[in-house]
């Protein structure tokens, strides 16, 4: 049995978990690669060679011994350049998948080179990416066959400091690992996710927002509140705090429908409820009055 990959790891006094952490994969993936039960994609192949400080050709040869013969050329377009184009257009993978009518996993498979993009999907892709269809085909055709390792973004660094895997964090906050990976590659998470990430990483929401390059909503700044802004202010405060309407209702001792009415401008908290809302969001007493209608 060829134990080249495992021998290189042991020689450098690295555990499978340490290699997995550097590559942002599960430790079991590393062990399966070492036994050649699974074959890594181009990005992980390059990252493995870099981590183990060996020539990439030696790592490729290790896997080529068990790699099945290449199948006949499949119809479609190579898609390894799609991720770069998508991130440049600031379009999440889920949005691309929804517009094209495929699962998000298909988009990730195109970007990783595990599948080709069907030709009939190109016009819709071009529309989503705001690129001419002909130009898109040329860009995809001339893209490099492999992508560089993902950049170590600030959001990725926050996770690594906790020594948690993408799969573990994704499970804790209720999203898929692919979604978390997209955020770490530059897609912007929603405000509601920032609070959950902050709890897992043990840092303030503002720290996660900066790492994810999510600008704070203007209405978080009390100095910008004007009379009549109350519904929008209440929505922003709740989303930023990560509370649901039901969660706020429980803290204020009212019904969820009452909170919903406040946020839609069909009512406003009375004095007692206002005090509870201010406490729930850590606001100074009476600060919400600046956003109440001027007729109050």
Measured between alpha carbons, how far is 288 from 276 in angstroms, rounded to an integer?
Answer: 11
Residue 49 CB partners (closer than 8 Å, separation 6+):
55, 56, 58, 59
Q: How confident is the model at residue 267 (pLDDT cuts 50, 70, 90)?
A: very high
| 295 CB-contact burial (10 Å; exposed 0-12 / middle 13-18 / buried 19+) | exposed
Which of 135-149, 170-184, 196-210, 251-265 has the highest average model confidence (pLDDT)?
A: 251-265
Residue 28 CB partners (closer than 8 Å, separation 6+):
none
Helix (H, G, I), strand (E, B) or coil at 9: helix
Sorted by where each starts, the structural domains of the chain and their CATH numbers stand as 4-64 (1.10.260.40), 82-142 (1.10.260.40), 154-211 (1.10.260.40), 219-291 (1.10.260.40)
Whole-number pLDDT of residue 209? 87
Contact 45, 56 (CB under 8 A): yes
What φ, ψ does residue 179 adopt, rounded to 5°? -65, -45
Whole-number pLDDT of residue 142? 67
What value does the mean pLDDT take over residues 60-89?
A: 78
Q: What is the pLDDT of residues 147-158, one digit of tens each?
A: 455 556 889 989
From residue 224, give the alpha-carbon distance in Å to each of 129, 228, 236, 296.
Answer: 35, 12, 13, 19
Contact 149, 50 (CB under 8 A): yes
pLDDT > 90: percent of the chain: 31
Residue 23 has, within 13 A of its CA and on its CB side, a CA count of 28
- Between 153 and 252, the higher pLDDT residue: 252
What value does the mean pLDDT take over residues 51-70?
A: 84
């Amino acid at each position: 049995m060829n134990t080249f990959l495992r021998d290189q790891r042991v020689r450098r006094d690295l555990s499978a978990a340490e290699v997995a952490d550097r590559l942002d994969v599960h430790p079991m993936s590393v062990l399966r690669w070492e036994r050649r039960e699974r074959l890594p994609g181009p990005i992980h192949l390059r990252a493995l060679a870099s981590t183990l400080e060996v020539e990439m050709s030696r790592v490729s040869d290790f896997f080529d011994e068990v790699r099945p013969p290449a199948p006949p050329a499949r119809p479609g377009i190579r898609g390894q350049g799609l991720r770069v184009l998508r991130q440049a257009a600031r379009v999440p993978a889920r949005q691309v998948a929804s517009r094209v009518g495929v699962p998000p996993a298909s988009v990730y498979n195109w970007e990783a080179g595990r599948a080709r993009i069907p030709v009939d999907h190109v016009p819709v892709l071009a529309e989503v990416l705001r690129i001419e269809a002909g130009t898109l085909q040329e860009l995809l055709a001339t893209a490099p066959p492999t992508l560089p390792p993902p950049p170590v973004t600030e959001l990725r660094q926050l996770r690594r400091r906790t020594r948690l895997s993408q799969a573990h964090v994704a499970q804790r906050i209720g999203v898929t690992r692919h979604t978390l990976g997209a955020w770490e590659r530059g897609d912007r998470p929603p405000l509601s996710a920032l609070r959950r990430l902050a709890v897992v990483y043990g840092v303030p929401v503002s720290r996660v927002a900066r790492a994810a390059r999510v600008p704070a909503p203007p209405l978080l700044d009390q100095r910008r509140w004007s009379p009549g802004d109350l519904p929008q202010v209440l929505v922003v405060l709740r989303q930023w705090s990560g509370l649901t309407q039901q969660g706020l209702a429980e803290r204020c001792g009212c019904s969820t429908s009452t909170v919903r009415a406040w946020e839609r401008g069909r009512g406003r908290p009375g004095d007692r409820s206002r005090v509870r809302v201010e406490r729930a969001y850590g606001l100074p007493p009476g600060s919400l009055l600046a956003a109440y209608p001027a007729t109050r």
